[in-house]
Amino acid sequence: MIAVTGPTGNVGRALVERLVAAGRPVRALTRDPQRARLPAGAEAVRLRPDDPAALFRGVTGLFLYVQAGGDRTPALLAAARAAGVRHVVLLSSSIIDSGADPAHPIHVMHATAERHVRDSGLTWTFLRPGAFATNAFQWAPQIRSGDTVRGVYAEGRTAPVHEDDIAAVAERALLDGGHEGAAHRLTGPAALSNAEQVTAIGRALGRDLRFVEVPPAEAGPDLFPHVPPGMLPALLESLAATVGTPPEITDTVHTVTGSPARPFTTWAQEHTTAFQP
């Protein structure tokens, strides 16, 4: 059995759906099983970091979302190992080994989680995706209400990776041998600016969307509704670094899964309902 933390998030949900479709037993560890709305066939169990032993009976592999255990991550991992879990796949970040300031809060969060996993005694695989295609959801409220998108760094370029491509790599790392000790860097297949992403969403919707750049000093929760306010300065710092710097592009998704990473245009076509009024 595979245990999945963060099963209501973009990557976790995609992974649960993949495992269920493959006929693999999966236990979704969530803080609110009644509202999780997971696919039939997934066992939804309340995530109780203060009583982790009961979570891992019969589990051999664990998908760990970096924020799932919080400060209790070492105890969660210890309980997993004691219950017979052998391998953990951690959803980390490409900020690790990117040359970023080690004191950057996003770097600290993911480096700490990786250290906890290394120290757990479990075999491990780290997934280090770059920009998520789902980051475009930050523009959804504006797109639902009009054709102008206000945002920072119109020319900031990333290679957005589809959440299901990340889940596909996680699935292979959990089910196949040969990924122990690997740190997989995951990206989409091509670089796009923020303005180009908005244009791609508009084309998928059959609309002409326009990106209007906002000075970073004026960016607030209205532009980043899903970002905790305390994390916004660090995020803006990371976004600034995407201007004038070609993003990393890897073929890891293709190498691991046998299928090429999907372009952002495909992601936009698959998620039009999120941007419709």
236 and 110 in one domain? no
155 and 22 in one domain? no
78 and 202 in one domain? no
Q: What are phi and psi of 107, to 5 degrees?
A: -65, -45
pLDDT, one tens digit per residue, over 166-182 is: 999 999 999 998 999 99
Q: Which residues of 223-262 are buried (b: 16+ CB within 10 A; e: fewer)?
A: bbeebeeeebebbbebbeebeeeebebbebbeebeeeebb
69 and 7 in one domain? yes
- Separation of alpha carbons 272 and 266, rounded Å: 10
pLDDT interval class at 5 (50, 70, 90): very high
Residue 238's pLDDT is what? Answer: 87
Q: Is residue 172 part of a domain?
A: no
152 and 84 in one domain? no
**Collapsing DSSP states into helix, strand and coil, what is residue 26?**
strand
Instruction: Quote the DSSP letter at residue 250.
Output: -
Per the model's pLDDT, the better-predicted residue between 228 and 120 turns out to be 120
CATH assignment at residue 73: 3.40.50.720
53 and 75 in one domain? yes
* Torsion (CA) 132, 12, 105, 50 in degrees, nearest 10: 170
Residues 68, 62 contacting (CB under 8 angstroms)? no
Per the model's pLDDT, the better-predicted residue between 183 and 106 turns out to be 183
Residue 221's pLDDT is what? Answer: 82
Domain that holds residue 149: 132-161+189-248+262-277
pLDDT interval class at 117 (50, 70, 90): very high
| Cα three-residue angle 177-10-134, rounded to 5 degrees | 115
Query: How many domains does the chain contain in total?
Result: 2
118 and 70 in one domain? yes
136 and 79 in one domain? no
pTM of the model: 0.94
Q: Is residue 178 part of a domain?
A: no
269 and 154 in one domain? yes
Cα of 93 vs its chain's centroid, Å: 8
218 and 88 in one domain? no
151 and 221 in one domain? yes
Q: What are phi and psi of 274, to 5 degrees?
A: -70, -20
7 and 117 in one domain? yes
pLDDT interval class at 233 (50, 70, 90): confident
Which residue from 250, 131, 113 is spatially nearest to 185, judged by alpha carbons? Answer: 250
pLDDT, one tens digit per residue, over 49-64 is: 677 778 999 999 999 9
